[in-house]
């Protein structure tokens, strides 16, 4: 039984879709109202939102590991904020959390379309995802095991995931992806309501997912400077296969660097926010995940 669900936007202050959806719902809470559970909405990183920046000191969406939350010596803006949010929406690992499900709203500069990034393996999380794939056939599901484990906003609740839509430039609103994100949230709320009422949903027993394999960095020189860019034949080809010998990067001199790894799928290609994190794209296996309900 889900008693309370949280919708969070503005975890990254320059990703406007989630920020303005929260503002829209604050003006008309009836859009979110469902009979069987309570909904809370929250703008997350208010200082970064005001300044139009991704973050102030460091990435808030990498600040919710148990290690960071328990370290009282961490006094950066986002570290303190993460502890406050964890108290309000967690606490993480509690058997009596304040919130049962978190959906965190994001955008990406990569051509990811309408997608979910999930690192929570709870039964209810996957039931919700299975329902959403029925309601939105274009939806892609990426199971993340990336640069930091268990540090996302949604990790502080027992169930949850992030909605990731793109491509959207940082600091920009796109009406089409705004509306797609909004519709996906409403489908999620409908699912939770039906789940709480024990309605028969006939969920699929299998879900197609992209399972994280690797973070792939740009070519760099001895000074750690990027010396090549994503090749034009790879740009915007998120959720597409890459095979050995395919063009991958192009140097400043115009030389092509070819992919030498195993056959996988490319995601988050040339995401602007990931330059500082040291990867040009992520690589994943496409597989069918069997679900047990």
**Separation of alpha carbons 132 and 292, rounded Å:** 16
The pLDDT of residue 149: 57
pLDDT confidence band for 147 (50 / 70 / 90): low
Domain boundaries, the chain: 4-204, 213-290
Q: What is the pLDDT of residues 88-127, one digit of tens each?
A: 999 999 999 999 999 999 999 999 999 999 999 999 999 9
**Separation of alpha carbons 240 and 3, rounded Å:** 39
Mean pLDDT for the stretch of residues 38-61 = 98
Between 1.10.10.10, 3.20.20.70, 3.30.70.3290, 2.20.25.160, what CATH number should domain 213-290 receive?
2.20.25.160
Kindly state which CATH superfamily the domain 4-204 is placed in. Answer: Zn peptidases (3.40.630.10)
Mean pLDDT for the stretch of residues 69-79 = 93
Contact criterion met (CB below 8 Å) for 260 and 238: no
Q: Which residues of 263-291 are buried (b: 16+ CB within 10 A; e: fewer)?
A: ebbbbbbbbebbeeeebbbbbbeeeeeee
**Residues above pLDDT 70, as percent of the chain:** 99
């Amino acid at each position: 039984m889900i008693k309370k669900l949280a919708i969070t936007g503005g975890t990254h202050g320059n990703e406007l879709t989630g920020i303005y959806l929260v503002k829209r719902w604050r003006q008309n809470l009836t859009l979110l109202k469902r009979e069987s559970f309570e909904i809370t909405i929250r703008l997350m990183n208010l200082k970064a939102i005001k300044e139009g920046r991704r973050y102030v000191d460091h990435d808030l969406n990498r600040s919710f590991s148990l290690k960071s939350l328990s370290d009282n010596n961490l006094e950066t803006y986002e570290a303190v904020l993460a502890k406050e949010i964890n108290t309000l929406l967690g606490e993480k690992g509690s058997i009596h959390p304040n919130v049962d499900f978190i959906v965190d709203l994001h955008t990406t500069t990569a051509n990811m379309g309408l997608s979910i990034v999930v690192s929570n393996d709870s039964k209810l999380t996957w039931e919700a995802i299975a329902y959403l794939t029925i309601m939105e056939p274009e939806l892609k599901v990426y199971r993340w095991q990336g640069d930091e484990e268990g540090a996302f906003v949604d990790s502080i609740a027992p169930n949850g995931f992030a909605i990731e839509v793109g491509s959207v430039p940082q600091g920009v609103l796109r009406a089409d992806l705004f509306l797609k994100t909004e519709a996906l949230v409403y489908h999620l709320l409908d699912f939770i309501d039906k789940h709480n009422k024990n309605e028969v949903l006939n969920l699929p027993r299998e879900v197609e997912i992209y399972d994280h394999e690797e973070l792939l960095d740009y070519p760099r020189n001895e000074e750690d400077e990027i010396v090549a860019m994503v090749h034009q034949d790879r740009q915007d080809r998120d959720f597409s296969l890459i095979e050995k010998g395919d063009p991958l990067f192009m140097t400043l001199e115009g030389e092509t660097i070819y992919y030498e790894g195993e056959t996988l799928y490319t995601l988050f290609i040339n995401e602007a926010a990931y330059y500082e994190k040291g990867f040009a794209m992520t690589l994943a296996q496409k597989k069918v995940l069997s679900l047990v309900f």
